[in-house]
Amino acid sequence: MPLLAVGSVALDSLETPFGRREDVLGGSASYFCTCASFFGPTRLVAVVGEDFPEEHVRFLASRAIDLGGLSRRPGRTFRWKGRYEFDLNTAHTLDTQLNVFAEFRPELPEAYRDSEYVFLGNIDPDLQRTVLDQVRAPRFVACDTMNFWITSRRESLLRTLKRVDLLFVNDAEARQLAGEHNVVQAARRILGMGPRAVVVKRGEFGALFFSGEEVFAASAYPLPAVFDPTGAGDSFAGGFMGYLARTRREDHATMRRAIVLGSVLASFTVEQFSLDRLRTLGAEEIRARYAEARRLAHFDDLELDLFDVSTPS
Amino acid sequence: MPLLAVGSVALDSLETPFGRREDVLGGSASYFCTCASFFGPTRLVAVVGEDFPEEHVRFLASRAIDLGGLSRRPGRTFRWKGRYEFDLNTAHTLDTQLNVFAEFRPELPEAYRDSEYVFLGNIDPDLQRTVLDQVRAPRFVACDTMNFWITSRRESLLRTLKRVDLLFVNDAEARQLAGEHNVVQAARRILGMGPRAVVVKRGEFGALFFSGEEVFAASAYPLPAVFDPTGAGDSFAGGFMGYLARTRREDHATMRRAIVLGSVLASFTVEQFSLDRLRTLGAEEIRARYAEARRLAHFDDLELDLFDVSTPS
């Protein structure tokens, strides 16, 4: 069964130390679906305005992305304008124009209602639940959120969390949601809110996965050049969920591979502006970087005779 | 051949969100030698004042640490006073009293001159070289430094770097030394300054190892409670160098295990104030946490038939 994703399709204007771009393709669902589509078909639920360029629609359609749930409404497309400083870690929002996204009420085409894998992108938690209400029997639901919803719509977010299997957050969001600085303790508290798994994304430092007593730490692929961090988190989620939906397994070993694949997809996304790197990316490159990630993290067992000096034991 | 370490032996006064301690055992060489001593004998070169408690001397001597190079001079012992906020990542120095450390001129006992493994703790780079001058045929030399030396004694530090095999730095120091924000590029530049290997320590995020084209990423063990981060870096170096001197190998696979052991030792150190956790630590606990680190970082190869959807290849 294909994967369903709800989120934003946007036009981004970006400034980084390496250049700027105006009105390029962006939005959480664009990154998510493009990355997930390497693994199988993906169903998109989003809204754009009358000004949304046809070339972007053609690009998304070329990627095994079902656009039956992409509605075009009178008005302008959601626009985000942001700037990154040299450290590239923090996005400084310069301007947000919700436009048609302000009235977004996700409606699933009948053909989408049998989706088993669902990704609830970073939108109002009320809307996230209306999406879930329209899916007949979701098998695995993952959810993204942000500081804005954690502070301003906390009760609604907590209701959503009771209905999801996995939450994607970054360190700061995990701390904020849990009210706890230590990230291990924060993840444990979040597991108590409903999800059976939490992925804490740490940008250039990788990601942590928590589920029950299981902990997995994935290092990010150390890139010699990062161009534009926009979309890294949604690319991560897209690689992760695409792989899960493809394998139809949710055991911990599968989740670990999914996290590394998410990290690999994100590492490609940030190499160029917008979705540009994903346009030329091939399956063999994904596979090669996954193998690279294996070499990067590998170390052997210890020799057995290591501690025979006179130390306490 | 035993490992030689030069650095500070100090009395620390610490404030963390979890409590405070006055005049407890501290200093780079204390942490380094105690951690290294789990793997074999270690030779200490440092200076203390008349006020240095005999119980600390007895503790260090009980750990297979050769104190022939620990001199006691008229005056007071080096004192450092620091505070950590809730994030525990940054040490705020409240007071530094160099005392006898201000006149420290490391002199190696004759019996130390055949040392093959040498750790140059974070002291004036001129002094680091006078230590090297006194070692007949060092086989592997590692060096630590800090922002103060990078800015105020850069030329001297560069001379030291030409004579070391491995440099330990944190992210910020690597960037500062290389004049380059991207950590991969920064490490490459540092490799051009002399060392054949660089370890970039990233605190709670782990460590990166660079040598030639080799890159290794180790995740830090995610701790549910960190008490006092003082000495984490020197504990890391002590575990690393102790293991190297023990195995007498310097191939990349050995270095990777050494980095994980360094990370494991550091993870124990921060669990309690001062060296308290190291006092009760046993070899079996080190071995168990190393095994834990293997499980933490493990993920399998990808299935071969993964990408058979109609994506670019």
Task: Note the pLDDT tens digit of each residue in A69-121.
Answer: 999 999 999 999 999 987 777 789 999 999 999 999 999 999 999 999 999 99
Rounded Cα gap, residues A283 and A268, in angstroms? 12
What are B62's two structure tokens?
A: 């009980």
How far, in Å, CA of A203 to CA of B42, rounded? 39
- Cβ separation A206–B217 shorter than 8 A: yes
Residue B50 contacts by C-beta under 8 Å, 6 or more apart in sequence?
B72, B73, B74, B75, B76
Ordered strands of the A197-201 beta sheet: A65-72, A42-48, A3-6, A117-120, A140-144, A166-170, A197-201, A207-211, A214-218
**Closest chain B C-alpha to A61 CA, distance in angstroms:** 12
Query: pLDDT at position B309, please?
Result: 57
Of A39, A183, A283, the CB nearest to B313: A283
Cβ–Cβ of B38/A225 closer than 8 Å? no
Q: Which of A219, A286, A302 sits opposite B206 (nearest CB)?
A: A219
How many angstroms separate the CA of residue A215 from the nearest CA in chain B?
A: 6
End-to-end CA separation in angstroms for chain B: 54
Q: What is the pLDDT of residue A89?
A: 73
The tens digit of pLDDT for each residue in A227-248 reads 899 999 999 999 999 999 999 9
Rg of chain A taking only CA atoms, in angstroms:
20
In a mutagenesis test of the A interface, which of B89, B299, B309 is the best target, namely the one with the most A β-carbons within 10 Å? B299
Q: How far is CA A109 from CA A10, A40, A61, A66, in A?
A: 21, 19, 16, 11
Is residue A86 within 8 Å of residue A47, measured between CB atoms? no
- Shortest distance between the Cα of A182 and any Cα of chain B, in A, equals 7
Contacts of B199 in chain A (CB under 8 A): none
Tell if the CB–CB gap between B297 and A297 is shorter than 8 Å: yes
Which run of H or E residues covers position A166?
strand A166-170
Predicted confidence at residue B142, as pLDDT, reads 98
Terminal-residue alpha carbon distance, chain A: 54
How much is the pLDDT for B232?
A: 95
Instruction: Provide the residue-wise pLDDT of chain B in tens; the chain has 313 residues.
Output: 689 999 999 999 999 888 999 999 999 999 999 999 999 999 999 999 999 999 999 999 999 899 999 999 999 999 999 999 877 777 899 999 999 999 999 999 999 999 999 999 999 999 999 999 999 999 999 999 999 999 999 999 999 999 999 999 999 999 999 999 999 999 999 999 999 999 999 988 999 999 999 999 999 989 998 889 999 999 999 999 999 999 999 999 999 999 999 999 999 999 999 999 999 999 999 999 999 999 999 999 998 677 755 554 4
The residue-averaged pLDDT of A140-151 equals: 96
* pLDDT at residue B89, as a whole number: 73
* Probe site for chain A from B219, B271, B287 (most A CB atoms < 10 A): B219
pTM for this entry: 0.94
- Residue from the list B41, B294, B306 with its beta carbon closest to the beta carbon of A301: B294
Chain B residues in contact with A199 (beta carbon < 8 A) = none
* Contact state of A219 with B217 under an 8 Å Cβ cutoff: yes
Q: How far is B243 from chain A (nearest CA, A)?
A: 8
Q: What is the pLDDT of residues B1-24, one digit of tens each?
A: 689 999 999 999 999 888 999 999
Q: Do B256 and A298 touch (CB under 8 A)?
A: yes
Q: Is the dihedral of CA A265, B292, B228, A168 positive or negative?
A: positive
Query: What is the model's pLDDT at position A309?
Result: 57
Dihedral angle sign, alpha carbons of residues B141, B146, B149, B150: positive
Edge-to-edge strand order for the sheet containing B197-201?
B65-73, B42-49, B3-6, B117-120, B140-144, B166-170, B197-201, B207-211, B214-218
Task: Copy the structure tokens of residue B311.
Answer: 């994506």
- What pLDDT is attached to residue A312? 47
Chain B residue closest in CA terms to A181: B87
Task: Note whether A280 contacts B312, CB cutoff 8 Å.
Answer: yes
**Chain B residue closest in CA terms to A308:** B39
Which residue in B281, B296, B309 is closest to A216 by CB distance? B296
pLDDT at B312: 47
Which of A18, A275, A311, A313 has the most B C-beta neighbours within 10 Å, making it the best mutation to test the interface with B? Answer: A311
CB A184 within 8 A of CB B224: yes
